Amino acid sequence: MKVCTYILMALLFFSFSCASDKEAEVSNTNNPIATLNNEAEINAVSVTGDDGNYNFSVSVNSPDTGCNQYADWWEIISEEGQLISRRILLHSHVNEQPFTRSQNGVLVSQNQVLIIRAHMNTTGYGNQAFTGSIATGFESVLLTDDFASDLAIKKPLPTNCAF
């Protein structure tokens, strides 16, 4: 009887461990690593429009607490690290997670490889981003800590936080 109990306990532990691992692999909407590190992450990217004039809608999940800690922008950059477009976020989104904001009139071609990432006013860029093209779609990727970090001081930059 004791052996059966230990086997059953081991099986239950193993199945809970596997379920947790699988959940972490599939879920993009509530990444505990980003929240623990006070980093913003991109959850989804959708694009409409025509060559040279696209509208990007980007969903961001961030550990906002108010103007003292919030995602202050998301941006579109080239794979070489050049800033293409930046969407300044004018306020925190404490009770709206994840949230989606759009940027119109983005001048890129449908085959250009892009990187979309978010920025926190307190911790800067996180490693999680989305990459791809309009033609092929976008998927989650991890960037190195220093990838295009110099863009953090390039204009446009937020001037204040409304709330």
CB 115 within 8 A of CB 86: no
What pLDDT is recorded for position 135?
96
Q: What are the pLDDT tens digits along the chain (163 aa)? A: 443 433 333 333 333 333 333 222 223 344 444 455 789 999 999 999 998 899 999 999 999 999 999 999 999 999 999 999 999 999 999 888 999 999 999 999 999 999 999 999 999 999 999 999 999 999 999 999 899 999 999 999 999 999 9
pLDDT reported for residue 10: 36
Query: What's the pLDDT at 36?
Result: 53
Q: Which CATH architecture has domain 32-153?
A: Sandwich (2.60)
Q: Where are the domains of the chain?
A: 1-30, 32-153
Tell me: the pLDDT tens digits for 14-39?
333 333 332 222 233 444 444 557 89
pTM for this model (two decimals): 0.77
Let me know: does 98 contact 128? Beta carbons within 8 Å: no
Place of tokens 């699988």: 22
| Residue 99 tokens, joined | 């949230």
